[in-house]
């Protein structure tokens, strides 16, 4: 009644899949993922079609997702570079209107994350407890009076 196989039972024979078939499996999984199939359904279908274990299919799914993510990241980088050079051509073109050149510069700043606002002066009402402790009595009274006038 023991379900443990005897020690002299040979392990299951591993099946090797050539690189072309591996690439085909990854492409098929990518297509199934883009069509919205559930991971369990993909696992069952690929496992049955190619006669591989569920764990192997999970590795192929991980690989397919990683390749899809890398493709998106590469596309975004290429698109950002294309946009930068397009806007740069507008800025460099002497026949472009000033308005267009200014707009292109703004877009370049945004692409390069340079569009953040410069830090403004510190808000006089923005202070910490440590700042209050360091103040003299006269400074504290002046600050108190100033804030009291703002609330009126």
In the predicted structure, residue 100 carries a pLDDT above the cut 70:
yes
The structure's pTM equals 0.54
Residue boundaries of the structural domains of the chain: 19-116
Alpha carbon of 124 to those of 16, 65, 145, 147: distances in Å? 71, 51, 13, 10
The 10s digit of each residue's pLDDT in 58-95 is: 999 999 999 999 999 999 999 999 999 999 999 999 99
- CA distance readout (Å), 109 to 7, 26, 82, 103, 113: 69, 39, 15, 10, 6
Max distance between CA atoms of the chain, in angstroms, equals 92
4-28 residue pLDDT tens: 655 665 556 666 889 999 999 999 9
């Amino acid at each position: 009644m023991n379900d443990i196989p005897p020690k002299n039972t040979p392990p299951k024979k591993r099946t090797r899949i050539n690189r072309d078939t591996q690439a085909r499996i990854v492409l098929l999984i990518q297509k199934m993922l883009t069509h919205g199939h559930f991971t369990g359904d993909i696992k069952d279908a690929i496992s049955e079609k190619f006669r591989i274990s569920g764990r192997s299919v999970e590795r192929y799914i991980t690989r397919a997702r990683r390749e899809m993510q890398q493709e998106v990241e590469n596309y975004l980088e290429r698109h950002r570079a294309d946009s930068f050079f397009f806007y740069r051509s507008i800025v460099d073109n002497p026949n472009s209107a000033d308005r267009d050149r200014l707009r292109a510069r703004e877009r370049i700043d945004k692409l390069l994350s340079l569009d953040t606002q410069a830090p403004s002066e510190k808000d006089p009402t923005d202070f910490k407890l440590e700042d209050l402790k360091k103040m003299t009595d006269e400074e504290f009274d002046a600050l108190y009076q100033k804030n009291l006038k703002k609330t009126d």
